[in-house]
A and B are shown apart, each in its own frame.
Chain A
Amino acid sequence: MKSHALLTSMLATGLILSGCGADKTATEKESAEAVAPTDLQQETDAYKEFAKEQMDQFVVETEKFVNAVKEGKIDEAKAIYPLARMYFERSEPIAESFGDLDPRIDARLADLEDEGQGEEQWSGYHKIEYGLWVDKTTEGYEDVADQLLKDAKELRARVETVEVGTDLMITGAVDLLNEVSTSKITGEEEIFSHTDLYDFKANVEGAEKIFSIFEPVIKQKDATLSTDLTKKFGTLNTLLAKHEDGNGGYISYEELTKEDTKELADAVNQLGEPLSMMGIVME
């Protein structure tokens, strides 16, 4: 019935406009929109602010992590690891814009091997992950830790220079979910620590942040899309909450059954489709 109402109002508008010689208004509105699409400066500013906050925290937590590693406190380092990484994962669309820094901080060995590189070139979080969970030592990882902190700080500094545009936000939100679909849901991101659900959650939060910034604009342009997105984020978050460990964290990826991962993947895909329509904010 709702659609019927919409139809009627559209007809009415059309009749009024053409019937009363008010075409000029319509034309002006058209061209105004064509020249300058909805002004979204406020939204892009808000997102940049968010990214800076996340990066501030990322540096703070990385410093704690690095200190624990250098002091040989394996358990403490293991506890900080997934949490520190969440700040990075939330704002990945920004981090990714630095082609050199992102891999230095976040490369998986498999990624390097794909590019014909080896362990020698490997650095960052995942290398230390290997040390903590597989080598079960921090010894020999001190230099990697030092470099990681340097890179994290450099990343924070360079965020200031990023040109945050609406397109970065729109593609970023979808990219965050795609990250979840391709590497988190398969357990390929954290193959040693199996803390994939932390990254999963952080990616979703990153996408949800972008949605919440755009939400008022989306509501104006397509209220159904806005409601649908709220609902789909809710569904996914409820599903994720099922896998909390009771201590503010998440269970190991290895404890997830095939049904669990399929259910999560479905929810991600069902969110991804409407999320990809957020680009209507540009109209």
Chain B
Amino acid sequence: MAEDKLFEKKISRRQMLKLTGAGAAGAAIGVSGLGGLLNVFGMTAEDDNPESKNKVNFYGTHQSGIITPVQTHIYFASLEVLVKSQAELKELLQQWTPMAVRLMNGEPIGEVSSNGFIPAKDTGEAGGLDASGLTLTFGVGPSLFDKNELGLSSKRPAELKDLPHFPKDQLDPAYTGGDIAIQACAEDPQVAFHAVRNLIRAASGKVRLKWSQAGFNSFPEKNKKRETPRNLFAFKDGTSGPDAASKKAMNDVVWVDKGWLAGGSYMAVRRIQMHLETWDRTALSEQEATFGRHRETGAPLSLKNELDEVPLDQKDASGEPVIPVDSHVRLAKEAKAQIHRRSFSYSSGTMDATGAYDAGLLFISYQKDPQQFIAIQKSFGRADKLNEYITHRGSALFACFPGVQKGSYIGESLFKTL
């Protein structure tokens, strides 16, 4: 089916006549049948192009953008689906698959037509830019399974439900939920944006952009190696976490191992406003006590190195814990759960009511069970000293599909009867 669709899209009847008119090609059709025909015209299913510069592969056991080293830019999009049947939803994902491959190759989604009276297939702003490490990660939210007309309710994993309310949540519906997520990350902001823009445009009438958020990371480099980036509070963000290079760690923490989602992962997204104004007038020692780490080095309080073990049990001269009981790092550690973080900072103008910066963290974490994230968030609870300086404004949970194999399409396992 996917191939049929692709074929229909890529070659018009007239082009076909022109091509077959060349004779040689016509003869080739006779001997090699459909597959050969597709090859003759270079119309095979889109494939990862090893020649592409700075490219991450699309096809694989897992989707890209989950354990891919975090990039400098994200354009995150939460979509509402408008299609009214399972078949149309499937078609949409089939339509997106070759486009995603092309985008991740750093190629436009379609060539410019010779007919100047129609708009170009690709919006074009990534022209001349390479793949820029683009990753595209697709997931589905709980609300998708609530739509009766899609008939997916029996496929809904028990774990896939809206995240519970956490203390101090001030969720804005404008940044909450969604039926489908596209996480586009790249080393170039325009490449990430272009990818989402084109996927949505090509799906006009089938999906609608519900909310989106652009974000960024900056990496200091030491000996040509990227160091942990700092969040907008200037603290290193993402110091501790499972080793993404370890297959075992990722199997333990990130990859779902059952049902249609096997090989996929749950993505928790939180749009966390950080109150920069109040933070900036907070004494440095207080800031450090809030995180439980030193700002400059990222080391746990009382220690020297970023990667030093956090001394949760150590007391100071007066018998107080060196890492305060309400510090962010202690509460995170006490949850005894692990998640794979992939966050970005954001800055989006000002808050309507106050004129304060609307800036903060687009927190993203991947886990094999949303409970891992929930446990940590619950541990922060009301106690977390950081709560004073942040407000969670947006929230969403998505089940990100397993990887796509060549010849298959994004999310195929969801539609296979098990």
Contact = CB atoms under 8 A, between A and B. Distances in A.
A62 to B, nearest CB: 33
Main secondary structure of the interface of A (DSSP, over half): helix
Contact of B208 (A18, A33, A266, A283): A266
Interface stretch (A21-29, A80-88, A114-122, A239-247): A21-29
A7 B8 contact: yes
B219 interface: no
Given A11-B34, A15-B29, A270-B204, A26 B17 contact: yes
B205 A170 contact: no
Nearest to B201: A273
A30 interface: yes
Contacts of B353: none
Given A30-B18, A273-B201, A282-B115, A11 B23 contact: no
Contacts, number: 87
Given A7-B8, A19-B30, A14 B205 contact: no
B21 A18 contact: yes
Given A26-B17, A26-B21, A14 B204 contact: no
Interface string B196-228: 000001001100100000000000000000000
Contacts of A113: none
Given A19-B26, A270-B205, A273-B201, A26 B7 contact: no
B26 A11 contact: no
Given A15-B29, A18-B26, A270-B205, A277 B20 contact: no
A280 B18 CA distance: 18
Contact of A273 (B14, B23, B34, B204): B204
Interface string B1-31: 0001101100101101111110101110110
A30 B17 contact: yes
Interface string A115-158: 00000000000000000000000000000000000000000000
Interface residues of A, number: 36
A27 B18 CA distance: 7
Interface residues of B, number: 30
A15 B26 contact: yes
Contact of B118 (A14, A232, A280): A280
Contacts of B21: 17-18, 23, 26-27, 30
B335 interface: no
A67 interface: no
Contacts of B8: 3, 6-7
B186 to A, nearest CB: 25
Contacts of B20: 13-15, 17-18, 26
A97 interface: no
B244 interface: no
Given A26-B21, A273-B205, A279 B37 contact: no
A24 to B, nearest CB: 9
A13 B20 CA distance: 9
A264 to B, nearest CB: 13
A79 interface: no
Interface in A23-52: 23, 26-27, 29-30, 33
A183 interface: no
A13 B17 contact: yes
B117 A14 contact: no
A197 to B, nearest CB: 22
Given A26-B18, A26-B21, A279-B115, A11 B4 contact: no
A170 B5 contact: no
A11 B37 contact: yes
Contacts of A26: 17-18, 20-21
A34 to B, nearest CB: 10
Max chain A C-beta neighbours (<10 A), residue from B19, B23, B25, B26: B26
Interface in A264-280: 266, 269-270, 273-274, 276-280
B355 interface: no
Interface of A: 3-4, 6-7, 10-11, 13-15, 17-19, 23, 26-27, 29-30, 33, 166-167, 170, 228, 232, 266, 269-270, 273-274, 276-283
27 contacts: A7-B7, A7-B34, A11-B29, A13-B20, A14-B16, A14-B20, A14-B26, A15-B30, A18-B21, A18-B25, A18-B27, A19-B30, A26-B17, A26-B18, A27-B21, A30-B14, A30-B17, A30-B18, A166-B117, A167-B117, A270-B204, A274-B205, A278-B118, A279-B116, A279-B118, A280-B118, A281-B117
Given A10-B11, A15-B26, 16 more contacts: A3-B7, A7-B4, A10-B16, A11-B34, A13-B16, A13-B17, A14-B17, A17-B17, A26-B18, A26-B20, A167-B117, A266-B208, A273-B201, A278-B118, A281-B117, A282-B117
